[in-house]
Amino acid sequence: MPRYRLDFAYCGTHFSGYAKQIGLRTVQAQLELGLSKVLPNRWKTDVSVVVTARTDAGVHAKHQVVHFDDETANLDLCGALRRLNRVLPDDITAYKLVRVPDDFSARFWASERTYKYRICDSPYPNPLRTVDVHNTFRKLDVTKMNKAVYGFTGVHDFAAFVKFRRGATTIRNLKYFKFKRVKCGKDRGLIVATLTADAFAYNMVRSLVGAAIFVGLEKRPINWMRQCLDAKVRCGATGPTNPSGLTLERVKYVSSPKRARCRMKKIRARRKISYENT
């Protein structure tokens, strides 16, 4: 059956996360409902999508990706995309729809995911940025925050900054992690944390940022985060911070289908071993 890739964005403020939950408004439920209304011969029938990364309640996405299967081989991609945006709620926008190889995986073919967490540390926050910015109302020491996370890139066990899930590994390859006070543009005056990894564990981004905020407020010493990382023990202060400041900014995919298939096979094998050992 033909497979399609859909790229879209959403404001997570009024969603109970991405994944479907009975009785709650979620991104996945709204997206699948919209697709069921615009795909030929699928009027109000189930359409199942597979996503790159599930986001929590209140978390946003500028670039999110799903794939789905549909029996229509010659789907009018431009027309379907236009119709989809007409039936989706205002807080979701789809902007790309393409046909992909039948074994494409929005989840396993993704090689990098980049998140940004926006913080306002002014006592007078901008009321127009309450949706996608976390306000601390107290000045943060960005230099100390960057010193605290120095050495966090590379392959580590992030158990101290991850909510436990049975069968899920806490080992990740964090490729980039840095805080920066922005001097110009839309985010001028904000502190923006940028994190890139092959994949992130549950609550990992918000927990890392939340711990760094403690350091920036001088509630914890600079070496405290490294001690937590080495100890691999989760504590209250390493729990997730407010979701409103977090946005999935970009998803990068393996360019070669052959490499992507090889990568997918290795990931599935590794996760199966991890699950069997719990």
Residues 6+ apart with CB under 8 A from 150: none
Residue 163 within any structural domain of the chain: yes
Q: Which of 56, 121, 132, 187 is flagged as catalytic?
A: 56
Residues 174 and 228 in one domain: yes
Rounded CA separation 263/257 (Å): 10
φ/ψ of residue 39, rounded to 5: -80, 135
**Are residues 129 and 98 part of one domain?**
no
Distance CA 60, CA 58 (A): 7
The predicted-structure confidence for 87-139, as pLDDT tens digits, reads as follows 999 999 999 999 999 999 999 999 999 999 999 999 999 999 989 999 999 99
231 and 135 inside one domain: yes
Q: What is the pLDDT of residues 142-192, one digit of tens each?
A: 999 999 999 999 999 999 999 877 777 889 999 999 999 999 999 999 999
Residue where a domain terminates, one of 91, 107, 123: 107
Has 56 been annotated as catalytic? yes
Provide the number of structural domains found in the chain.
2
Say which CATH number the domain at 95 has.
3.30.70.580
- Token pair recorded at residue 166: 């049975």
Overall average pLDDT of the 240-249 stretch: 95
Give the end of a domain, one of 55, 73, 107. 107
Boundary of a domain, candidates 107, 127, 149: 107
Q: Is the CB of residue 180 less than 8 Å from the CB of residue 247? A: no
Same-domain pairing of 118 and 34: no
Give the domain CATH number at 154. 3.30.70.660
Among 75-89, 190-204, 258-272, the range scoring the smallest mean pLDDT is 258-272
273 in any annotated domain: no
> Does the structure show a pLDDT above 80 at 49?
yes
Print the domain residue range for 28.
3-107
DSSP secondary structure string, 70-104? Answer: -S-TT--HHHHHHHHHHHS-TTEEEEEEEEE-TT-
Both tokens of residue 232? Answer: 């691999």
CB 74 within 8 A of CB 61: no
Residues 153 and 199 in one domain: yes
Query: 182 lies in a domain?
Result: yes
Buried b (16+ CB within 10 A) or exposed e, 48-57: ebbbbbebbb
Distance CA 41, CA 54 (A): 28
The angle at the Cα of 271, spanning 266 to 276, to the nearest 5 degrees, equals: 130
